[in-house]
Structures are given as structure tokens and as C-alpha cells.
Structure 1
Amino acid sequence: MALLRASDYERMLDLVVEVLETDAPESVWPLMAAHLREAFACDTVIFAELFLPRQSGRAEGWAPENLGDSVRDIVERRMRQRHPLIAYLEANQQRPVTMTQICEHWRHSLWRSEARRDFGTTHQMGLPMPGVPGAVRAVSLGRKGDFTDHELALATRIQPLLLSADKHIRELRRVREERERRSGVPALPHHDLTPRELTVLGLLAEGLTTEAIGRRLAISPHTVNRHLEKVYRKLGTNNRVSTVLLARGTGLVAG
């Protein structure tokens, strides 16, 4: 196995610390996706959980922004096309792998040409995520250029952290559901706010204007408004007042 560098261990430690400090389950996967994009210089990160006998499942993706519902269409198409990673997972293979390792004709494949068309990526790496009976699960990374032996070694070390973070998400959800059951406060529907969107939402709840939020985060008012539009869409609101009231009532921000 290729030797890892000190910076690789620093990245892994940073990921562990950030995950453990996060108490919102919907923030963990976006956080991990951001770390994976940086660690592997990749353009896309997709997490998929597939139940193949009934051709169903769930998926989340970032490229680098959240892909929303479109990622489900991509994953469903890959199931129909029998993407090589699916066969690899069905064979109960658990080591990270690149598609060029398991598909001799990857360079001329339909999967590669579609990924290049959609995201500009030409190579993929899969990190299996076993642990759910009846499902095949993996994180798929996409980028221009193949992955090196060193990056495969890094993926092998990061894989257990992803599995632990996935368990952490489930435990956070269990704790939240138990707290909501006891308090009688209704659960907030899954919203998948990114860490940056949660930050913008928190500043909005503090009463800051768009310009003030932009100055605080060193971004333009236009970028702030784009974040707010996504917050509104994910929470099902359409203005600042209703958004802040919903966020406070469900514990997304302090009351």
C-alpha cells in the first residue's frame, strides 16, 4: 500500500473533528462531501443506497453544489445500464476501486461518456459502504484524470471514517426523533441544507440584512441571495419571516 503523507492524516483528523462537532444529521454528508472533494480533487461526490431487486433506492450528490432530485435520475439510469460499480458491490467487494480497474472498456463506455457530458468528469472511484442488509451502498467520486495508487490508499484509510460517520448520522437522527417525541415539537422534513446554507440561515435569524450577511461571510449579496433561494426551496418557505419562524420552531436556529 502506498505510504500516506502527514497532510493525509491531518485531513482525516479534521474530518473526524468536524463530524463529531456536528449535531445536525442533515449536515454530515454535505460536510463529508466537501472534504472528499478537497482530498481527492474531484468534481462530483455521490452517495447511493440501492435496493436492486425492486430497482429503488436513495441518493445524494454534490457537483460541487447539491444536485437535488436530479441525482436520483442519474442513479436510476446507472442501475438500468448496469454500471460496473454495481456488479462490484453485488459481489460483496469492499475495497475502494477505480472503474478502470474493473472495466476494461471504461474509456469507451457509455457511463464515461455520459459523466463527461454531464459533469466534465472522465474517471470514477467507488468506496463501498457495507452495513445495510439487502442494499448495496457506495460513495462515488468523479473527476478528470484517473486516481493514483496513493489516492486509493487514502480512500482505504478514509473508508472506515465514512462508515463511522454514517452510523453517527443514524444515531443523531434517533436522538432527534426521541427528543421531538418527548417535547411534542414536530420533526422538520428532510431539508439537506449545506453547512454554508445553515450559516446563512443563522445570520438571517439574527436579523442581518443580505448586505450584512455578505460582509460577515466575505461573499457578494448576489451569492447570499442564491443561498437564501436554496434555503427557501428546501424548507418550503418563500420569505424571511416564515423561514426564520420555521427554523426557530424546529430547532434549526436558536429561538
Structure 2
Amino acid sequence: MPRLHARDYEHMLDLVAAVLEHPEPDRLGHLIADHLRESLGCGTVTFSGIDPATGAARAEGWAPEAMGRHVEDMVQRRILQQHPLIQYLAAGERRPVVVGDLCDGWRHSPWYSEARRDYGTTQQLGIPMATETAPVRAIVVARDGDFTDHDLAFVTRVHPLLVTADRHTRELRRLRAKTPLPVPDHGLTPRELTVLGLLAEDLTAAAIARRLSLSPHTVKRHLEKIYRKLGTNNRLSTVLLAKEAGLVT
């Protein structure tokens, strides 16, 4: 596998920092797409949730922003056309894959023709997001020309970070739906609010670590920061104070 450069790791760190610091979960899909587009120098990036059994689909983020008017229609067409990545995801595959490698006659397919006509891209790279239940989720990166070995090495290395960022986003969105962001927020970061919300749902530190794809040590550090910011020193007093302050339900 080709060696990655210092700039590649800077892109990864920038992505992680941006996701963990961003307060609006509904915008995180766009943020991730934009960072990947810049890191890989590609034409378009789309982030979608797809239920192969029902044909339901939802675009959760894309770049560039100008794609917005057409993304939902495009995702629905891919469902009807049985885009090869959908079958790949439905089979439980989790490795990033060049979509042309899944399809005989890629350059004669409707997916190739439409992408080239609408966006000037000729190849696609699928990045599955591991989920336990439907809908399956994936990022599709597209560019004019083939993906290089260096591109594939970068995507392989950043893939676990993307999965973790996606889990953080989904948990933050779910918790935010239960408890809108309060004012003030006691200086807690979005990541700390997510950990606090799971703590209030009676999850142990180990369970929180599994839910967010973190190490127990990392969760412990988050809890220490939460305790310090709230002026507490244990789980019970922290959850009680957080409920009184409207931070959690």
C-alpha cells in the first residue's frame, strides 16, 4: 500500500476536529462530504442512507453545494436502476470499493452516462458506513478519471474515522431530537453532550465506547471533562444536574 503523506494525515485530523466541534448534526453530512471532496480532489461526494428492501433513500450530505437541487432525485434513480453499490451494501460488504470493479461494462452503464453528463465524472468510489440495521449508509466519491493507489490508501485509512464520525452524528441527532440544545450549554462540546446524553440513558462507559466506536479510555476522558465543567464528581450527580439544567431529558 502506498505511503501516505503528512498532508493526508492533516486532512484526517481536520475532518475529525470539524465533526466533533460542529454543533448542528443535520449539517455534518455536508461537512464530511466537503472535506472528502477537498482531500481527494474529486468532482462530487454524496452521503446517503438506503433501504434496499423498501427502496427508500435519503441524501444526508453532498458536495459541492450546487448539487442540492438534484441529489434526492439522483439517489432515487440509483435505487430504481439498481446501482451496483446497493447490492454490495445489501450483501453486508464493508470495505471501500471502486464501483466500476463491481459492474461489467461500467462505461456503457446508465450510472456512468448520467454522472458524466450531469457532473463530468467517470468513476465512483463507494465507502460503506457500518450500521447494524437498515437503512444501509454509504458515501460515494466521484471524479473524472480513475482513482489512484494513493487515493485508495487514503480512503482505507480514513474509513474507520468516517464510521466513527457517522455514529457520533447519528447519536447527536437522536439526542438533539429529544433535548434541543439548551442555552447556556455549560461549555460542553457537541461530543461531550453526546456522551452526556448516553450517560443519562443509563449506558455504562464501556457501552458508550461501543456505541460511539471509541476506546473506554477516551470515554473516561470525556466524562472527566464533563464532571469538571458541571462541577460534579460522579455519574448520579452529573445526570441529575444535567436534567435540572435542561441538558438532557
Task: Name the TM-score class by shorter chain.
Answer: 0.5 to 0.7
Amino acid at match of 2:136: V
Misfit runs of 4+, over 6 Å: none
Amino acid at match of 2:59: A
CA apart distance, 1:100: 2.3
- Listed as ranges, the matches of 1:39-118 within 5 Å are 39-68=39-68, 70-118=70-118
1:185-225 Cα distance to aligned partner (Å, 9 max, x none)? xxxxxxxxxxxxxxxxxxxxxxxxxxxxxxxxxxxxxxxxx
Given that residues 49 and 135 in structure 1 are in contact (C-alpha distance below 8 angstroms), is that contact kept between their aligned partners in structure 2? yes
TM-score, normalization by structure 2: 0.68
Amino acid at match of 1:125: L
SS at match of 1:126: strand
Gaps of 5+ in 1: 184-255
Amino acid at match of 1:18: A
Amino acid at match of 2:108: H
1:141 equivalent in alignment to 2:171: no
SS at match of 1:95: coil
Aligned to 1:235: none
Aligned to 1:152: 152
Once residues 171 and 36 of structure 2 are traced to their aligned partners in structure 1, the CA distance between those partners, rounded to angstroms, is: 22
CA apart distance, 1:26: 2.1
Q: Classify 1:62/1:178 alpha carbon distance in 2 versus 1 (closer, same or farther; 3 Å).
A: closer
Aligned to 2:195: none
CA apart distance, 1:129: 0.8
**Percent identity among equivalent residues?**
52
1:132-185 Cα distance to aligned partner (Å, 9 max, x none)? 4032221001110110111111111111111111121123224433433989xx
CA apart distance, 1:109: 1.5
- Listed as ranges, the matches of 1:97-246 within 5 Å are 97-180=97-180
Once residues 175 and 53 of structure 2 are traced to their aligned partners in structure 1, the CA distance between those partners, rounded to angstroms, is: 31
1:31-63 Cα distance to aligned partner (Å, 9 max, x none)? 111110111111111111111111112113534
CA apart distance, 1:76: 1.2
TM-score, normalization by structure 1: 0.66
Which has the larger displacement, 149-158 or 164-173? Answer: 164-173
1:5 equivalent in alignment to 2:5: yes
Amino acid at match of 1:13: L
Once residues 51 and 15 of structure 2 are traced to their aligned partners in structure 1, the CA distance between those partners, rounded to angstroms, is: 29
The number of residue pairs the alignment matches comes to 183
Aligned to 1:14: 14
Q: Classify 1:49/1:43 alpha carbon distance in 2 versus 1 (closer, same or farther; 3 Å).
A: same
